[in-house]
């Protein structure tokens, strides 16, 4: 098996540890293998891949898309280190309004599977970070939404206090002010 799948405190969010083959030339690993993901219950068909580069202290998020474009994501860091966060926004979920975080880096090579119905954000801990994430639905600006990163009800313990947030993300609303429109299945 090329991956170790680990259910987290919110069991639908899965930490994926790839098997890494290292030698004097460098390393080799599989980043995705449909058959192994499906064996573990991750059946999403990833159809769009995005990449961002951000400097230390940049905080992106908390973003999500509304129905019918609700996205599942597979997040990985190809250089640098981030504090990655997923917030359960599925109404009637036992974890509704709860968040989970993981450190993802080019060193640990771990990936985070975030199913549809979660808001996602991250904060860059290294001097710079390149983040790649695959989505199971295409980006649709008309369904784009988000939650303010420092929402007092979510109370996310971001590791940096001095963050750089885009003007757009600074205008996002609080969790309780948003009609999320994502149902728990």
As given in the structure block, the two tokens for residue 60 are 């992106």
Q: What is the DSSP letter of 167?
A: H
Q: What is the DSSP letter of 40?
A: T
Q: What is the DSSP letter of 142?
A: G
Residues with a catalytic annotation lie at 63, 133
Look-up of token digits 């981030």: 82
| Alpha-carbon span 41 to 35, nearest angstrom | 10
| Alpha-carbon span 112 to 10, nearest angstrom | 12
CB count in 10 Å sphere of residue 176:
11
Handedness of CA 95, 99, 103, 109 (dihedral sign): positive
| Alpha-carbon span 61 to 18, nearest angstrom | 26
Residue 50 contacts residue 132 (beta carbons within 8 Å): yes
As given in the structure block, the two tokens for residue 75 are 């997040």
């Amino acid at each position: 098996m090329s991956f170790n799948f680990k259910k987290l405190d919110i069991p639908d969010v899965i930490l994926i540890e790839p098997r890494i083959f290292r030698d004097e030339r460098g390393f080799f690993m599989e980043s995705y293998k449909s058959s192994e993901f499906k064996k573990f219950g991750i059946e999403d068909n990833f159809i769009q891949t995005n990449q961002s580069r951000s400097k230390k202290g940049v905080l992106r998020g908390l973003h999500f898309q509304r129905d019918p474009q609700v996205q599942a994501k597979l997040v990985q860091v190809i250089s640098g280190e981030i504090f990655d966060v997923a917030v359960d926004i599925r109404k009637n979920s036992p974890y509704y309004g709860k968040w989970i975080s993981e450190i993802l880096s080019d060193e640990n090579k771990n990936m985070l599977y975030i199913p549809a119905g979660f808001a996602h954000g991250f904060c860059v801990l290294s001097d710079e970070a390149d983040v790649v994430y695959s989505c199971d639905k295409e980006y649709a600006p008309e369904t784009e939404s988000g939650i303010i990163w420092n929402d007092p009800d979510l109370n996310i313990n971001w590791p940096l206090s001095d963050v750089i947030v885009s003007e757009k993300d600074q205008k996002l609303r609080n969790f309780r002010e948003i009609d999320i429109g994502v149902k728990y299945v």
